[in-house]
Amino acid sequence: MTRKLGKGAVALMTALTISVPATLLIPQLASAYVFNDVRIEGSQRVEPATILSYANIARGQDVSAGELNDALQRLQGSGLFETVEIQPQGGVLVIKVSEYPTINQISFEGNRRIKDDQLAEIVQSQSRRVYQPSQAIADASNIAQAYSSEGRLAARVDPKIIRRSGNRVDLVFEIREGDLTEIERISFTGNRAFSDRRLRQVLETKQAGILRTFIRADTFAPERIPLDQQLLTDFYRSRGYADFRVQAVAPELARERDAFYITFNIQEGPRYRFGNVDVISEIPGVDATAFARQNRVDRGDVYNPAAIDNTILRMETVAIQQGLDFVSIEPRITRNPSSQTLNLTFALTRGPRIFVERIDIEGNTTTLDEVIRRQFTTVEGDPFNPREIRNAAERIRALGYFADAQVESRQGSSQEQVIVDVNVEEQPTGSLSFGASYGVSTGVGLNVSLNETNFLGRGQTVGVTLSTAEGDKEGSFNFVEPYFLGRDLRFKFNTWYSETEDWNADYDTRSMGFSPAIEFPISPNGRLELRYRLSKDRLSNINEDSSAILQREEGERLSSALGYSYSWDTRNTGLDPLTSYKFRFSQDIAGAGGDVKSITTSAIAGFESNAWRDDVTFRGEIEGGGVHAYGDYETWILDRFRAGTRVRGFEPNGIGPRDLASVNEDGLGGKYFWAARAEAQFPVGLPEEYGITGGLFADIGSIWGLDDTSGTNGEIVDDDMHVRAAVGASIFWTTPIGPLRFNFSKAIQKEDYDEEQNFDLTISTQF
């Protein structure tokens, strides 16, 4: 097909071949040529004017061989043509082009790990568009990068075309996925205070282990290295190593490209303790006394940045309470390497007068602005506090609603104003999960749950759970509004229905009810919950061989109770503190209507601490409780306490008052209980990537007390406080199907009628 300039369209054609060098297509010419006409051949879609504009050759003017070669290069560089030829024929310049074909369809071959629809989102080439080799090569590179992020660095992707009629091609990406490029070994140099094993536990990156087929953290991802460096830094500095730094990280790829060896070269430095700690004021008229009372750093304490940050936050709060704006708390540290101490001075200084002009939020397509804004204690017009902005950023990330959240400040409309930019990236917050559980006492169970933690973008939690095990059926619905009435006031609502059959006892139970509650902070680590509970409980189908006490208690009762709980918890995520504490005290007073008139009280206190280079974790708990009936009311089995997991080594209803005169020798539960538990968890010599650790535990406790002690045949039930104790060993195994715990126990103090449980296996998983 031949077209004259201005009388046709120049076509675009797609191909893989590269046009031959211009020196072969342009004959050796005289010093100059003059063309009176230009003829374009082969164009079908591209207009001739477009081709002429790329060639940039004017009629009637002298044109050299070099200028013709430049024209050829420009046409080739346009990306519109597979081949280009320029042929002078007397006074006519002939430009022959071969257009790239159109893509008929795009397909993928050889992919199993990444599905076609996922790959289709990666490639930029599209059907019914012109094929461009450079774009196909870029698409192949992007596909290979996707496999690289999945841990398959040996993946190879080749773009191929299959020519079809009508100047069309099928674009095929041939994929060789290759094997996983695993992390065979993670090692450290320069570490003396902590073992390689302990430091590997800190990292997000993990070594390949026995479960490498399922565990994805054992594949090398370069983007995890900065996070690992920060985790190591936080870990060391929270333990007193103020000079710690990661000097280098050396990932080495094996020759076969199937394994990585990563070495962290670190410098620990000395372990510091705080020396002199002072608080001074450099602001005229501001007394440091009130600020000094907020100091939580003591001489002799191990250096920990979290303690300094906590003190600064408390001092800044005092400044706000006193109406002092633009006060900066500056921690000044003086190192004493010889004594390995740090002298710390909190200096109150006058900061720059900068105000928050506005807070701009972008990227929240689902979450409402107010959900993000309420994470700031600063509003427009307030003095600018960089620490508060950083804390707000951490609170936004902790919501769990966003895949990424960046909070930055920039200069506003004047030198005295700043604009806070919040850029978030939404992520799914709802989940539909199916799960399985197993316990020696409960058997195999199945559960399904639907949970949404950011309902309608309001930050509310809505959850529905259904579960069933042998002899046990449960269903519940819960709703949580974390910012009720626009305050840090959490509103909760829970309703439930449960049934148990004679799986662990010779009777059936049924319970249904609902409970609204509100919860609010009363101290930095303390919270108070106020609640109401209305439930209807039934005890039925009591076996004729069961205790006479249970026979008398059979029936249905309505309970209406008001309650409260105070909780205090020092667990601090992020810095992996050495020791944390928790305490909870609860009371429920039934009698505001209904049949039940009782006061139920319980308390629990516990701690967790790491020792011996953090390889060993100690846990301890002590708890107790009692239910007191008043008026003419007497407690029944559903009011009283049973063993459960309070004292390991015994069946769930294996200790406490028991009617031995009945055929079934029923456990009756008790009005009072106490228990103390101690546990140590430690490595057992296996590589930590296997997720297997060991443990030793010791439990002691008792359940006692009945209102009605007249058992079967008039026999008096022994409801005295008899102490039980058990010791045992545990195997903890973190697996892809859930955390497993194997308990092997032996009762060392018990009553003759107690029911032991020497082995217990628990598993809970979601998939």
Q: Residue 449: inside a domain, yes or no? A: no
Report the candidate in 718, 711, 710, 626 with the shortest Cα–Cα distance to residue 671.
626
Q: Residue 29: inside a domain, yes or no? A: yes
The C-alpha atoms of residue 97 and residue 42 are separated, in whole angstroms, by 5
Kind and range of the H or E element at 249?
A: strand 245-253
Chain segment 610-659, per-residue pLDDT in tens: 877 667 899 999 999 999 999 999 999 999 998 777 899 998 888 999 99
Chain segment 123-178, per-residue pLDDT in tens: 999 888 888 888 899 999 999 888 877 777 778 899 999 988 888 899 999 999 87
Q: Are residues 106 and 86 in the same domain?
A: no
> Which of the listed residues 99, 129, 152 is the one where a domain comes to its end?
99
Q: Is 364 helix (H, G, I), strand (E, B) or coil?
A: coil
Q: CATH no. for residue 331? A: 3.10.20.310
Q: So what's the pLDDT on residue 210? A: 55
In the predicted structure, residue 764 carries a pLDDT above the cut 90: no
Report the candidate in 518, 482, 205 with the shortest Cα–Cα distance to residue 370.
482
Q: Which are the contacts of 580, defined by CB distance < 8 A and separation ≥ 6?
A: 569, 570, 571, 572, 607, 608, 609
Do residues 549 and 506 touch, judged by C-beta distance below 8 A?
Answer: no
Tokens of 160: 């191929």
Chain segment 475-522, per-residue pLDDT in tens: 999 999 998 988 889 999 999 999 988 655 688 999 999 999 999 999
Q: Is 374 helix (H, G, I), strand (E, B) or coil?
A: coil
Q: Residue 602: inside a domain, yes or no? A: yes
The C-alpha atoms of residue 521 and residue 517 are separated, in whole angstroms, by 14
Q: So what's the pLDDT on residue 679? A: 95
Pairing assessment for the beta strands 508-521 and 490-500 based on DSSP bridges: antiparallel
pLDDT mean across residues, the chain:
85
Q: Are residues 610 and 666 in the same domain?
A: yes
Kind and range of the H or E element at 450?
A: strand 443-455
> Which of the listed residues 74, 99, 124 is the one where a domain comes to its end?
99
Q: Are residues 95 and 106 in the same domain?
A: no
Q: Are residues 163 and 232 in the same domain?
A: no
636 burial level (CB within 10 Å; 0-12, 13-18, 19+): buried
Pairing assessment for the beta strands 430-439 and 443-455 based on DSSP bridges: antiparallel
DSSP letters, 395-432, are HHHHTS-EEEEEEEEEE-SSTTEEEEEEEEEE---EEE
Q: Is 45 helix (H, G, I), strand (E, B) or coil?
A: coil
Q: Are residues 538 and 507 in the same domain?
A: yes
- The confidence band for 737, taking pLDDT boundaries of 50, 70 and 90, is low
In the predicted structure, residue 585 carries a pLDDT above the cut 90: yes
Which residue pairs from 508-514 have beta carbons closer than 8 angstroms and sit at least 24 positions apart in sequence? 508/539, 508/540, 508/541, 509/537, 509/538, 509/539, 509/540, 509/638, 510/537, 510/538, 510/540, 511/535, 511/536, 511/537, 511/538, 511/638, 512/536, 513/559
Q: Are residues 631 and 705 in the same domain?
A: yes
Q: Are residues 539 and 596 in the same domain?
A: yes
Q: Are residues 551 and 651 in the same domain?
A: yes
Pairing assessment for the beta strands 102-109 and 168-176 based on DSSP bridges: parallel
> Which of the listed residues 267, 294, 319 is the one where a domain comes to its end?
267
Do residues 620 and 661 touch, judged by C-beta distance below 8 A?
Answer: no
Q: Residue 431: inside a domain, yes or no? A: no
Do residues 601 and 609 touch, judged by C-beta distance below 8 A?
Answer: no
Q: Residue 196: inside a domain, yes or no? A: yes
Over range 445-454, report the average pLDDT.
84
Radius of gyration of the chain (CA): 37
Q: Are residues 586 and 715 in the same domain?
A: yes
Q: Residue 32: inside a domain, yes or no? A: yes
Do residues 178 and 155 touch, judged by C-beta distance below 8 A?
Answer: yes
Q: Which amino acid is at 522?
A: I
The C-alpha atoms of residue 494 and residue 476 are separated, in whole angstroms, by 7
Q: Are residues 294 and 398 in the same domain?
A: no
Q: Are residues 163 and 258 in the same domain?
A: no
Q: CATH no. for residue 728? A: 2.40.160.50
Over range 597-608, report the average pLDDT.
95
Over range 566-588, report the average pLDDT.
76
Number of domains in the chain: 6
Boundaries of domain holding 335: 273-350
Q: Residue 618: inside a domain, yes or no? A: yes
Over range 10-31, report the average pLDDT.
36
Q: Residue 752: inside a domain, yes or no? A: yes
The C-alpha atoms of residue 646 and residue 675 are separated, in whole angstroms, by 6
Q: Are residues 707 and 665 in the same domain?
A: yes
